[in-house]
Structure 1
Amino acid sequence: MSDAASRLAALAEELMGVPLPVRIRAWDGSEAGPPDAPTLIVRHRRALRRMVWKPGELGLARAWVAGEIDVRGDLYEALDRLAGLVWERGHDAKDPVHLVRDPRLRAAARELLRLAGPWPPPAPPAEEVRRRSGPLHTKVRDRRAISHHYDVGNDFYELVLGPSMVYSCAYWSEGGTLEDAQRDKLDLICRKLALKEGDRLLDVGCGWGSMAMHAARHYGVTVVGITLSAEQAAYARKRIADEGLTDRIEIRVQDYRDVRDGPYDAISSIGMAEHVGAVRYREYADDLYALLKPGGRLLNHQIARRPERNEEDYRVDEFIDAYVFPDGELAPVGRTTATLEEAGFEVRDIEAIREHYALTLRQWVANLEAHWDEAVRLTSPGRARIWRLYMAASAISFERNRIGVNQILAVKTPESGASGMPLRSRIWSAGSGR
């Protein structure tokens, strides 16, 4: 089969209706497309079968995870160029029904099938989440979803996250390192919560214990950290013991719905609420409200998506759902704040820091790429490719304002109305807790 790249490029442009934004290198060594653009390498015809079988991002993701496609050149530029086709053009151009109705496109689709080779496509890569059943966001299903993402090896996460072991958006300043930015983020949260000696903090989704350790070490609080990941909990407990903080910090493998030992003076929830889901978000807000003492503060640090013109059109990202965060959901920040207020909270401050997450993700990708062989050894080639793609694509999404991240500070304001907030807001943003 000669010059597969030219045929593939022509078919892609016919089906998508726009010029191909990247160069293509096919399995036969041929190349076609813009000479100065990043190159999409199609190593095997199997990749086409996957993309025809599951048009859009899921087919592409399966081919990527399997190593059947790759990018030569700048990955971020390639994703940025492809974003308009794969993620931002809507679903009509990728809908098989749309192809069947248009005779011209139907002919192109038949030619693409011939080029793809023998049917059917191969099975999805082993890293894909298998078929799920039952209601969303039960305790059992949430525990399995969390385990899929977080229980892939603490050594792997050390390579990606660096010494801070913080898996959420950092808070950057000019010239700072990732460790500086993560420390500053943790300290900013402590100051927004107005933590002081003797306070009791609940850290929901405590990860590897970094927030709990920072709050206990620098602010003299006692902390209960909860996670659904057994591997995270074991790692956090060892860190805490090594730092001599076991008298101040307790780490539990526990669902937030099962915490009953309030009241707490403050609650931090950093990068956890994305796993709660729309059907449970009011329950989440109610539970945290009940666990706080009057006047207590909640810092909810959460990724948000842009609202749809018609919210019924919203679809969960197929690649993220199948390979990265099963059952994860993003909501617009307005819906999140409204739900917190419905639960009784007074929302006092919202700080949008989406550009900070793009910087964080680019640093994580750089860490992964710098330790690629070891990352593959610790997990699998497919898993390492998943993390590289999802983090790079997420960085582009933050940069393009497709998604954002917000720190929402809310107070369980008592009936007297005395919130305990400073008269001038955001005095906490000055300085850094070193």
Structure 2
Amino acid sequence: MKGERAQQIIKSILKPMDIQINGDRPWDIQINNPQFYQRIISGGSLALGESYMDGWWDCKALDEFFKRILEFRLDKKVKSMKPALLWEIFKARVINVQSKTRAFIIGQRHYDIGNPLFKIMLDKGLNYSCGYWHRADNLDDAQTGKLDLICRKIGLKPGITVLDIGCGWGGFAKYAAETYGVKVKGITVSKEQAEYAREQCKNLEVTIELSDYRNLNEKYDRIVSIGMFEHVGWKNYRTFMKVVHRCLKDDGLFLLHTIAGNTSAKGTDPWINTYIFPNSMVPSARQVSHAAEGLFILEDLHNLGRYYDRTLMAWHENFTKNWNLIKDQYDMRFFRMWTYYLLSCAASFRTRRNQLWQIVFSKNGINRVFRSEGELFI
């Protein structure tokens, strides 16, 4: 396809979304390489992200650019099956890319890329999941509020044993042990996270292990999983719930904190899968409930999705503000990749295409009422 024809096609696609090429508004895109148009037509969403990483186009407000794309539902209207997308669909349907033998890939390729990166971007406790901004006006308070909300939802008291599946850098384990006097075991598939979490929790009743969730067998009073279920994969949702069931005491509670989608999916965006979260996907309500059916009673579902936009924008602000502190460890292509990731995800929550759920499960039912915003419990 000739360059002029390709350019006209891209212009016609962007016009209904009020996005102009080389326009002067923050969400308009600036083209730096005339081959951009043909590359996008040939490669779809993967090429859009890669061409941005390569500096072929710019946009002052990527989050607003993606907000317009997602509001228009361009991804649903353009159904061309590019080779990269077809391969992702094939992998998701045929291969268990989240199998036990592949469980540590996400740790190596995302969470182990350097603690200094996450230290400049996240809050002081290195909590890498949605904050709770109900009564907060800064990232640290939003993340502390989230941790305390979880602790209160599952009724933590001194002496209770807690399992944290996907413990990250130990933010929840440290807070729960210090504030509520509980004993915590955390597991992660990231070596960097495990080492950091052990150091942060060394004087507390906290144990951190480098392990896959399928190895768990001990019983606990409470179980939490905060921002890890997105790495489980649809083929393993039921297995995950069975593991939690066998590890939870009969009178215990399980809180699942996960990004979620509005429809069931068996794959993810090719760019996100390639560059950010390999072998990951977000569940739907149907997939979660089906996986838990016959094992748990759903006691409470709290949607915090509207808070993730603000969390991601705070991470982006920290990342760009502190980039000079780590720029010698990364290159400009990484900077553009990480910017694209944070701002495109912010747009997905701003348009409510993605959600963030906290779900409380019990085995046999509990005598308790959960009230609005999770603030009052009876």
TM-score by length of 2: 0.88
**Structure 1: any 5+ residue segments left out of the alignment?**
26-33, 98-130, 414-418
1:24 matched to which residue of 2? 21
Q: 1:395 to 1:160 in 2, by over 3 A?
A: same
SS of residue paired to 1:152: coil
1:412 matched to which residue of 2? 363
Return the letter of the residue paired with 1:148. Answer: R
1:118 matched to which residue of 2? none
1:430 aligns with 2:375: yes
Could you tell me which of 367, 371, 378 is aligned with 1:421? 367
Could you tell me which of 51, 62, 77 is aligned with 1:63? 51
CA contact (8 A) 2:49 2:271 kept: yes
1:263 aligns with 2:219: yes
CA contact (8 A) 2:225 2:255 kept: yes
Q: 1:282 to 1:376 in 2, by over 3 A?
A: same
1:125 matched to which residue of 2? none
2:115 matched to which residue of 1? 154
Could you tell me which of 358, 364, 367 is aligned with 2:309? 358
SS of residue paired to 1:226: strand
Return structure 1 stretches of 4+ with deviation > 6 angstroms: none
Aligned residues: 367
2:256 matched to which residue of 1? 300
CA contact (8 A) 1:57 1:86 kept: no
Give the Cα separation in 2 of the matches to 1:96 and 1:239: 46
Which one has the largest radius of gyration? 1
1:322 aligns with 2:274: yes
Give the Cα separation in 1 of the matches to 2:248 and 2:135: 36
1:42, distance to aligned residue in structure 2 (A): 2.4
1:51 matched to which residue of 2? 40
- What CA RMSD, in Å, does the superposition of the two structures yield over aligned residues? 2.7
Give the Cα separation in 2 of the matches to 1:431 and 1:412: 22
1:429, distance to aligned residue in structure 2 (A): 3.1
Identity %: 31
Q: 1:176 to 1:53 in 2, by over 3 A?
A: same
1:368, distance to aligned residue in structure 2 (A): 1.0
Q: 1:425 to 1:17 in 2, by over 3 A?
A: closer
1:346 aligns with 2:335: no
1:79 aligns with 2:66: yes
Return the letter of the residue paired with 2:211. Answer: Q
Could you tell me which of 140, 153, 169 is aligned with 1:179? 140
1:335 aligns with 2:287: yes
Could you tell me which of 234, 238, 260 is aligned with 2:199? 238
Give the Cα separation in 1 of the matches to 2:327 and 2:56: 16
1:168, distance to aligned residue in structure 2 (A): 0.4
Is 251-260 or 74-83 further displaced after alignment? 74-83
1:237, distance to aligned residue in structure 2 (A): 1.1
1:385 aligns with 2:336: yes
**Structure 2: any 5+ residue segments left out of the alignment?**
84-90
Q: 1:91 to 1:146 in 2, by over 3 A?
A: farther
Return the letter of the residue paired with 2:327. Answer: V
Return the letter of the residue paired with 2:321. Answer: A
1:169 matched to which residue of 2? 130
SS of residue paired to 1:24: coil
Give the Cα separation in 2 of the matches to 1:36 and 1:215: 46
Give the Cα separation in 1 of the matches to 2:352 and 2:68: 15
CA contact (8 A) 2:233 2:280 kept: yes
TM-score by length of 1: 0.78
CA contact (8 A) 1:274 1:330 kept: yes
Return the letter of the residue paired with 2:68. Answer: R
1:204 aligns with 2:193: no
1:95-244 map, 5 Å: 135-241=96-202, 244=203
CA contact (8 A) 1:333 1:406 kept: no
Could you tell me which of 352, 355, 360 is aligned with 1:401? 352
- Report which structure shows greater RCO (CA 8 Å, sep ≥6): 2
1:84, distance to aligned residue in structure 2 (A): 5.2
Deviations 1:181-239 (A, max 9, x none): 10111111111111111111000000000000011001111110000000001111111
CA contact (8 A) 2:71 2:351 kept: no
1:17, distance to aligned residue in structure 2 (A): 8.1
